[in-house]
Amino acid sequence: MTGAAYALGVGAALWRRALLEIARVRGGLLPTIIAPIIFLLGTAGQFDRLSDLSDFPTSSYLAWILPLSCLQGAGFAGGAVGANLARDIEQGWFDRLLTSPAPRPLLLLGPVLAAMTRALLPTTVILTAGLVLGVSLTGDLYGLLALYVAAVGFAVVAALWGMTLALWARSQQVGPLIQNGVFLAVFLSTAYTPEVLLQGWLATFAPYNPTTYVLELARQATVAGIEPSWANTWPGLLALAGMGLLWGLVALRLLRRFSR
């Protein structure tokens, strides 16, 4: 067997195993689908009247918040991969993987692939729920594609972040910290209102949060005031690449330290 075929086999096996978690863990999918949907409804219901303000780029607050909920669901799906790694470490299964001749980066690649796959489910279900509730796809096919790229990319970032924490803490109790990180990344941005309506410290901070640009990438799908364009796309792609690179490198470094 060639090195590439072997690597592919190992990556695919770890990918399959990570996907099997969906069937194996009771309630494992709940936070990735049901919670963001109820969060979508709750937030839209809570802050609905904000869209009455002038300078708000859409008359539907649901359309504003829908891409955020998709990112949330995808982020939880990615973060769950980190929590599962923490469990594998705590229960000793990861030590067995480390004794195998598999190249170390593949031990992270399989779960990342699983995160990408798992993210499709909450994104699709949440988006469908939004469409059923009356949100329009103002961005057409381009906007839809941008939303999926943002969601899957964000799941990868969340998975790498989760695995970094799992390799650092080596305990299942790091789970809430992983999810909190996803929450914070999303909320310290233009989550609730556009930049022009932000006041105080968040108005200063949000432009420096990469997730602001990932949200803008995703919002091309449903927010009429954010037109599908390369100008609204490339900052989000760059932000995803930067965050992925950062947490990927840190996770690999921690994995090397773990192996020693």
Partner 1 sequence: MSSAALERDPAVQARVVTALAGRGLRIQMRRAQFLIPAFLLPLVLLAVIASGTSAAQNLRGFPDTGAYIGFVVAGTLIQGALLGGITAGISTAADIEGGFFDRLLAAPVHRVSLVLGRVGGTAVLGALQACVFLAVAFAFGARYEGGVVGVAEAVLLASLAAAAAAGLAAAIALRTGSLQLLQNLFPFVFVLLFTAPAFFPRALLQPELQAVADVNPLTFVVEGIRAALHDDPALGDPLTGLLAAAGLAIGATALAVWAMRARMRST
Chain residues in the site for partner 1 (CB under 8 A):
25-28, 30-31, 35-36, 38-39, 41-50, 52-53, 76, 80, 83, 87, 169, 171-177, 179-180, 183-184, 187-188, 190-193, 197-203
Instruction: Indicate left, alpha or beta for 55 from its phi (over 0: left) and psi (-120 to 50: alpha).
Output: left
Give 105's contacts (C-beta < 8 A, 6+ positions apart): 252, 255
Q: Which is nearer to partner 1, 50 or 121 (CB)?
A: 50
Between 146 and 215, CB nearer to partner 1:
215
Among the listed residues 190, 130, 166, the one whose alpha carbon sits nearest the alpha carbon of residue 251:
166
Q: How far is the CB of 157 from partner 1 (least distance, A)?
A: 18
The least CB distance from residue 184 to partner 1, in Å, is: 6
Residues 11, 109 contacting (CB under 8 angstroms): yes
Going by C-alpha positions, the residue among 40, 42, 126, 44 that lies closest to residue 77 is 126
130 or 175: whose CB is closer to partner 1?
Answer: 175
Minimum distance from residue 178 beta carbon to partner 1 (Å)? 9
Quote the CA–CA distance of 94 and 236 in Å, as a whole number.
34
Instruction: With beta carbons less than 8 A apart as the criterion, state whether 101 and 60 touch.
Output: no
Q: Extract the tokens encoding 6.
A: 């072997």
Nearer to partner 1, 29 or 160 (CB): 29
Minimum Å gap between C-beta 36 and partner 1 is 7
Nearer to partner 1, 10 or 254 (CB): 254
In the complex, minimum distance from the CB of residue 140 to partner 1, in angstroms, rounded to a whole number = 27
